[in-house]
């Protein structure tokens, strides 16, 4: 009698749906960097970044498209989950700068609106880690194995 391996708790239907939604969101955001919302994204690049503002917007758009497509494909999902989470951490200073400088973009035209947006960044990081099973995989590796 053969036994089937236990289902991987890191690939549940809710995780898959939310991973695909995040992938679609990132792909859309990346395309908007490249085509129809470049000026809005330019307003979010902090003045202290020593690079051409348009180059930063274009590069971050390309990165978002690539990460979105990788999330949609499910390829190496746990590794991609950590990379997406790191990307969200990397762009967080831009959101903080937008709040501190009072820069209006994407309808964020008040300190309250910009502050609320800051609160969503940790949720995006958690979304990336949960939906890809990256956090669960890390927890599984951190647990000592039980030998029967």
19-77 pLDDT per residue, tens: 999 999 999 999 999 999 998 888 889 889 999 999 999 999 999 999 999 999 999 99
With DSSP H G I counted as helix, E B as strand and the rest as coil, what are the percentages for the chain, rounded to 5? 70, 0, 25
Residue-wise pLDDT for 73-121, tens only, equals 999 999 999 999 999 999 999 889 889 988 888 788 888 988 998 999 9
Q: Up-side HSE of residue 112: CA atoms within 13 Å toward CB?
A: 0
d(CA 45, CA 48): 8
3-class DSSP state for residue 37? coil
11 pLDDT above the threshold of 60: yes
pLDDT single digits (tens) 118-134: 999 999 999 999 999 99
């Amino acid at each position: 009698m053969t036994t089937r391996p236990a289902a991987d708790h890191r690939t549940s239907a809710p995780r898959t749906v939310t991973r695909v939604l995040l992938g679609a969101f990132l792909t859309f955001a990346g395309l908007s960097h490249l085509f129809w919302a470049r000026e809005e994204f330019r307003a979010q690049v902090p003045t202290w970044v020593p690079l051409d503002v348009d180059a930063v917007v274009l590069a971050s758009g390309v990165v978002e498209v690539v990460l979105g497509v990788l999330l949609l494909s499910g390829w190496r999902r746990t590794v991609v989950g950590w990379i997406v989470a790191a990307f969200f951490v990397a762009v967080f200073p831009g959101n903080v700068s937008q709040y501190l400088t009072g820069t209006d973009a994407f309808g964020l035209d008040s300190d309250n609106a910009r502050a609320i947006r800051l609160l969503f960044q940790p949720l995006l990081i958690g979304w990336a880690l949960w939906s890809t099973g990256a956090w669960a995989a890390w927890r599984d590796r951190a647990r000592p194995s039980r030998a029967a």
